[in-house]
Amino acid sequence: MAVKKGQQIELRIDSTAFKGKGVGRHEGRAVFVPGTAPGDLVEVRIVKKKKKFLEGKVTQMIEPSPLRRVPKCTHANVCGGCTWQHLPYPEQLKIKEQHVRDHIERIAGLDPAIVKPIIGCEQEFYYRNKMEYSFGTKRWLTEAEIQSDEYVDDTAFAAGMHAPGRYDKILNLKECHLQHEISFRILDFVRSYCKENKIPAFDTHQKTGYMRHLVIRNSHYTNDLMVNFVTFRDDEEIISGLSDAVLNKFPEITTIVNNINDQPNPTAIGRYENILHGPGFIVDHIGNHTFKIHANAFFQTNTRQAEHLYSVAREFCELQSEDHLFDLYCGVGTLSLFMASDVSKVTGIELVDVAIENANFNAKENDVENVQFVKGDMKDTFNDEFLKKTGKPDVIITDPPRAGMHPDVVEQFISIDVPRLVYVSCNPSTMARDLAILKEAFEIECVQPVDMFPQTYHIEAVAKLRQRLTVH
């Protein structure tokens, strides 16, 4: 009899897949179950039924996998910040490397042997240099509260992470181990201060209240520490009291800013910003270059591991002193500057205005003169007319968003005469899709996975491509 939605089934988990979900098979169909590990025997309730697969939720752990460990964090099973705390880090790395191999073989149609052993992270906890916490008027209930026969009030001042899939409910964090431990202590203090002083959280439905986000940034190579209060309105009396209290409790904070987001959008980027203490930025390093990082500027979230990622990319580029390097989707120019001393010239292309501003600022701050940054949409900018103005590249490095590259950009790579291409990806599945097309004109020599985000399913990869002598 065909399985139905809501039905309970017994399932052995044998692998992992999309977004870190465990996978078992029932009546020939894959069943995706979050929070499971290979080897688990579980009772599952079917919550989604599709033609080719099913999705389920664990209702009982019958026999836990021998791979399992006790998560470090009590929120690990409900918070969207971590996916795999129940797996030892070496096992996480094996799974991530295998995922990249699977994408290369199944999507790109390439030999998975070209995938090199994964580069793991030196720190599996406390590796992030930025955490963005949210405030809300509704908290996410615990599993015990959800299952309770009695009414449970979910209205409360909550501070932590958005519950997975819910923009309006906040998981009221009691701990977090992704950023330096001072990060959570600051969050806990701010939450208590706001409750004691009756400072309201922002209500997403009523569009009222005050506290929206708390963003904390710390430097890896310096002692700089930033606190960014994102509020719904500009209220000098409230924010000065809060700022003074936080600074008194945590004198190691080097700068405090207040971003005012009085718009409907839920982002932690304000329409304008006030500096309350210090210079309004922190300073960190990647390689030999120094970066001033403002509250809303992009910077790689794992500083030390970003250096490993960039070093792989630089090695794959095989840079020569006379080379003209193109850095596509260049962001704030960190990768461009990292490569600049090894080449004659770097041309970066980026769509986002503020990123281009930051890239030019970073180049000036580091006295790097052989770089130029061009604002434009890649599919419209990276064309023959652009190449006539700038000259052809000797090597291209591309670091697109999760969606991968636009088909026009992929085709342009094939049509121009570029001997070396390096593809940096935060989503190996879309990279594999693009490589399936690029292999017409390029030999895909190798792919290097790099783990930037332990405890999560996210994985970065760098592909090394060399132009074929004859393009058919």
Q: Which of 82, 176, 194, 426 is catalytic?
A: 426
Can 82 be counted among the known catalytic residues?
no
Q: What are residue 424's DSSP bridge partners?
A: 462
Distance CA 78, CA 163 (A): 7
Q: Which of 100, 118, 468, 466 is nearest to 312 (CA)?
A: 118
Using CB atoms within 10 A of its CB, is residue 434 exposed (0-12), middle (13-18) or buried (19+)?
buried
Q: Are strands 53-63 and 155-162 parallel, antiparallel or unpaired?
A: unpaired
Local structure of 16: helix, strand or coil: strand
Tokens matching residue 225: 């520490």
Helix 182-196, helix 236-249: angle, nearest 10: 140
Q: How many CB atoms lie within 10 A of CB 133?
A: 24
Q: What are the Cα distances from residue 57, in Å, to 23, 168, 325, 331, 431? A: 12, 22, 49, 39, 30
The answer for residues whose C-beta is within 8 angstroms of residue 7's C-beta and 6 or more apart is: 45, 46
- Which residues are catalytic, by number? 426
